[in-house]
Structure 1
Amino acid sequence: MTGRLAGRAAYVTGGSRGIGRGIALALAGEGAAVVVADTEAASAEAVAAEIREAGGRAEPCVIDVRNYGDLVGMVEQVERQYGQLDIAVNCAGVISVASVEDVEEAEWDRVMDVNVKGVFLSCKAAIPAMRRNAFGRIINISSVSGKDGYPKLAAYSASKYAVLGFTNSLAKELARDGITVNAICPGVVKTQMWDTLSEELKEQGETPEESWLRHILEFVPQGRPQTPEEVGGLAIYLALAPSVTGQSINIDGGLTSH
């Protein structure tokens, strides 16, 4: 498959659904070879098969982003299959919806382990391969909740704020190595996470779908949700941009301005 990323190789954690799937398909559509990494073999293989059926190159990989050994193995798989690692997309994440006084310590730790430690370990595993290649594009998926806090999302927001600080610091560390590090902050995207939010935040007598539509109209100035395909388009831009690094870019229909 030809495209602007022909000859490049990537991995996408959390690549089997939602935003991760949208990014994996976008990268493959521009010619990159993609390792689709997720916790479930069948779902990762389904996305990889979808890419192959469209003429692209893709393989599944089963990982737990809390396990450094899994992530080292994922990077080794990319290098073994495709010769190098060029693009690392760290998208795996979980959400928790509860007031601070109701968040259990174990739940706080789960959110931080996946959303923050998982990004740290993924980057730690990817950097040596990118140094060997003298090229790299690291794209961490944060959220608009990493720029503005929301009620009952304190644990999630704290984790996404942390991703932004980590991204900016790492970008400065790697600025002379041909490796850029950026974060994408999606807004209201119809994913499994927003299905959970729509259920948890619905008002009395409201269906989850009505809750979803209300949140779009209340929060998004454009009055429409964002899509995984749109986030994938931004990931393509960052994969191609040599002078953009240390940035956190919103894709949220005008929801935030910083």
Structure 2
Amino acid sequence: MAAPTGSIPFKVDSKSAIVTGAGSGINFCFAKLLLSRNCNVLIADLALRPEAEKLVEEYSAKDGSKARAVFVKTDVTIWNDLANMFDQADKEFGGADIVCPGAGIFEPHWTNFWLPPGHPKSKDSPHGESGAGGLGHYSIFDINVTHPIRTSQLAISRWLNPPSDSKVGKASPTNPKRIVHISSIAGQTPGFPFPLYIASKHAISGFIQSLEPLDQTLGIRVNGVAPGVIKTPLWTDHPEKMTLFDEQQDVWVQPEEVAEQMLRCCEDDSIGGGVVWEVLKDKYRAVDWRMDPGPEGTGATVSNRAQMTEEVFGWLAEPGWGQVAK
């Protein structure tokens, strides 16, 4: 675990936050927890699930009686939408002290290594995008890697160059700010059935660890959680993923438990910048980039991964796998 940073204590109470992907799952639980602590929250997502709609309605009053929640429709793959989140946070709250670029996906069939661009189930173009120099891309990396990196850039820029009417002010060790990412234990392990997701979380863990010097120097703490197997729509909305989980043997880590540890990443000075904070069932630790032993404990794995591996080899056996019509 990192040593204390020397910045003044940071509490979320009376602060403001931007949380992407907060229409459901871990991010929704984090937004809800922040609101309960009197922290304004801008919820950025494509849409809201019913529980998130109810939360926004509950915290919609502008009479100052409690924190406010504001929904801003956001496609995190569009950089103008990401910039708009910060503009709206300026407008609604005078800025944001906490940024959580938490939106992510778990290698669905529509952006999947084993169902490559050109496959009927894939939405990734095999030919690149016109108007973008013919550059191809995987949507999973746009969402899981590029979006949190770009959001972090925008946050740091805002905190170093705040608007003249900003209420959050310029970041410094005496006016600290927080970026909390969501990595995964997938960032510490291999995973044959979902290599793009694995690669994306390795990338985010490395990104978090690389930004450690911002904490002591500028008061901008960049860290994040690495959850185990969490019962969220990333699993429950995808029947093909749910087959991995054995209800008789495996244990879910609840999203509320992860949200509590995200709050801890903001407030606990013993969890400094650059820390990837592993969250299993009732077990937490800092992931060391040097010879780390990997995740061990309840909620760290699923039992039926061999079943998905068999499915992958079935796809690879299909005639013409990966070939694209010219």
Q: Match for 1:119: what amino acid?
A: P
Distance 1:117 1:139 in 2: 15
CA deviation map 1:175-210 (0-9, x unaligned): 41110000211111111111256534627xxxxxxx
Say whether residues 1:91 and 2:102 are aligned partners: yes
Note the 1:17-56 alignment, pairs <5 A.
Answer: 17-40=24-47, 45-52=53-60, 55-56=66-67
Supply the distance in 2 between the matched residues of 1:257 and 1:8 (Cα, whole angstroms).
35
SS in 1 for 2:218: coil
**Offset, 1:130:** 2.2
Question: What is the deviation of 1:46?
Answer: 4.1
CA RMSD of aligned residues (A): 2.7
Normalised to the residue count of structure 2, the TM-score between the two structures is 0.66
- Conserved in 2, the CA contact under 8 Å of 1:21 and 1:47? no
CA distance in 2, matches of 1:228, 1:51: 21
CA contact (8 A) 1:51 1:58 kept: yes
Q: Which of 278, 285, 289 is equivalent to 1:250?
A: 278
Return the offset for 1:142: 0.9
Q: Structure 1 residues 83 and 201 mapped into 2: Cα distance closer, same or farther (>3 Å)?
A: closer
Give the aligned residue type for 1:89.
Answer: C
For 1:17, give the aligned amino acid: S
The structure richer in helix per residue is 1
Inter-partner Cα distance in structure 1 for 2:296 and 2:13: 34
Residue in structure 2 matched with residue 58 of structure 1 by the alignment: 69
Distance 1:212 1:80, change over 3 A: farther
Tell me which residue corresponds to 1:221. none
Q: Which runs of 5+ in 1 are unaligned?
A: 204-210, 219-223
What is residue 206 of structure 1 aligned with on the other side?
Answer: none
Q: Select the residue among 63, 78, 84 that pairs with 1:67.
A: 78
Structure 2 CA distance for partners of 1:48 and 1:201, relative to 1, 3 Å: closer
What is the aligned partner in structure 1 of residue 183 from structure 2?
A: 142
What SS does the corresponding residue of 1:160 show, helix, strand or coil? helix
Alignment match of 2:159 (pick from 118, 127, 130):
130
Contact persistence 2:214–2:273 (CA under 8 A):
no
Q: How many residues align?
A: 241
CA shift digits 1:52-111 (9 cap, x unpaired)? 489431111111111111111111211221123100011101121578444448287111
- For 2:225 and 2:241, the matched residues in 1 are separated by 25
The aligned residue for residue 169 of structure 1 is: 210
2:263 counterpart of 1:236: yes
* Runs of at least 5 residues in structure 2 that lack an aligned partner in the other structure: 1-10, 119-123, 126-136, 163-168, 284-293, 298-326
Q: Deviations over 1:223-246 (max 9, x none)?
A: x32112111111111111346110
Larger radius of gyration: 2
Q: CA deviation at 1:150?
A: 2.0
Percent of residue pairs bearing the same amino acid type: 27
**What is the alpha-carbon distance in structure 1 between the residues aligned to residue 41 and residue 99 of structure 2?**
10
Instruction: Report the TM-score, using the length of structure 1 for normalisation.
Output: 0.83
SS state of the match for residue 31, structure 1?
A: coil
Q: Following the alignment from structure 1 to structure 2, what is the Cα–Cα distance between the partners of residues 188 and 127?
A: 31
